[in-house]
Amino acid sequence: MRKFLVAGIATLLVAGAASAQFFDPPALEDRNGSTGLPFFMLEVPNADAMVSDGNSGDWGWFDAEFTLTMDEWRDEGDRPAPSRGDLNITTFMGWKGGDVNRWYVFMEAFDDVLDHDGTSVVRWDGDMLQVGHDPQDHGRQRGPASGFTMEWMMAPGDVTEPNNVTFRYGGVEGEPDTWGEYGTQPWINHTVKVDPPEAFAAELWTDGGTTTYEFDIKVLAFQEDGGPGASEEWQMDAVAGPDGAGFPIAFWYEDGEGPDSSFGTNEDGTPGGRNDWTIRGPEASGRQYYALTTLLRIGEYTAGAGTAVEASTWGNIKNSFR
C-alpha cells in the first residue's frame, strides 16, 4: 500500500507530466507497469553516505512503503507472471538534486534458476538488467540513438565488459562513439553481485539465489556530440514534488530459465526462453514512453527512521508485500 502524503497526487502528477511532453504520452495508468500505480523516488538525505556497493545499509533512511514490488512489473510478451518462488524483484529508488543530480537504485532479485551463460553483458537469453532514463520525456519518437534516451546493460557472470555494466548507445547516430564513458565512473557507480558468490560466474545455477544491482547515475539532459563532459546536467529539483513533471525511467529484467525451460527456444533459436519483464505499461511499451516516477522531497514522505532496511532482512521486506 502506497502512502499518499498530498491529496490528489495522482491527478497532479498526470497534469504536471502532460505539460512537459513534446508529444502526446499515454495516461499514467497506461505507462506504469501492470497496475498503473504511481511510482516514487525519495530524496536522498545525505548523498555522501550513499555507496553503490551492493549492501543495503546506506538505505536505512528509506521508507519501505515506497518499495517497487513485483506486482508493478509486467511481461512484455503478456505471458503469465511467475510465482514469487520463481522470481521476486524488490527495488528502492532515490534521487538527489542540487550539485549532485543523481538517480539511485538498489534492486534485489530472487530467482529459482540463475542463468549466466555467455560472455557478453548484452545477452537477451540469460539473467540481466537493462535500465534507462529519458529526462525530457519525449517518448523515443526519434529512435534510440536520438540522444534523448540513455540506457545501460548490467549482468552477472564472466563477461568481457568492465565491471559487468556497459552504456548501450555510443552517442548520436552517425557521430563518433564519445559516450562509452557514460558506463564508467564518475558518471555511473555500480555493483552487480550474486548470493551465493559461487553462482556469479556459473553458466547455470539451479539451486536458486539472489542477484543485487545497485547503481547511481549522474543524470544528463541530452547526449551532446562531445560526450558526457560536454552535456548539460538535468536538474532533478526542477521536476520534483507531487506537482512536478517527474522523471521517466525504464527497467527491463531478463529472467533466463536455462535449457530445460518450458518456454522452448529463444528468438535466436537457442534453447531456454525467458520472461522479459518491464515496469512500462502496455501502451507505453507500444509507443516507447517510459514509466513515470514522482520525485518526493524530504518532508513529502515519511522517513523510515533507520529501521526499514537495517532492522529487517530483505526477505522480510519482500514477505510484507505478498
Q: Residue 247 belongs to what H/E stretch?
A: strand 247-256
Q: What is the pLDDT of residues 192-228, one digit of tens each?
A: 999 999 999 998 999 999 999 999 999 999 988 889 9
Mean pLDDT value across residues 60-87:
88
Q: What is the pLDDT of residues 130-188, one digit of tens each?
A: 999 999 998 866 555 567 889 999 999 988 766 799 998 765 555 567 888 999 999 99
Residue with grid cell 498526470, as numbered in its chain: 14
Instruction: Say how many domains are in the chain.
Output: 1
Residue 290 lies in a domain: yes
Residue 78 lies in a domain: yes
Mean pLDDT value across residues 112-139:
88
184 touches 166 (CB < 8 A): no
Residue 2 lies in a domain: no
Residue 3 lies in a domain: no
Query: At 103, which CATH number?
Result: 2.60.40.1190
Stronger pLDDT, 253 or 139, i.e. the higher one: 253
Q: pTM to 2 decimals?
A: 0.86
Residue 1 lies in a domain: no
Q: Report how far residue 304's alpha carbon sits from residue 60's, in angstroms, rounded to the nearest whole number.
A: 7
Would you call 71 helix, strand, or coil by DSSP?
helix
- Ranking 116-130, 242-256, 271-285 by mean pLDDT, the lowest is 271-285
Residue 193 lies in a domain: yes
Return mean pLDDT, the chain.
Answer: 82
Residue 27 sits in which domain range? 9-319
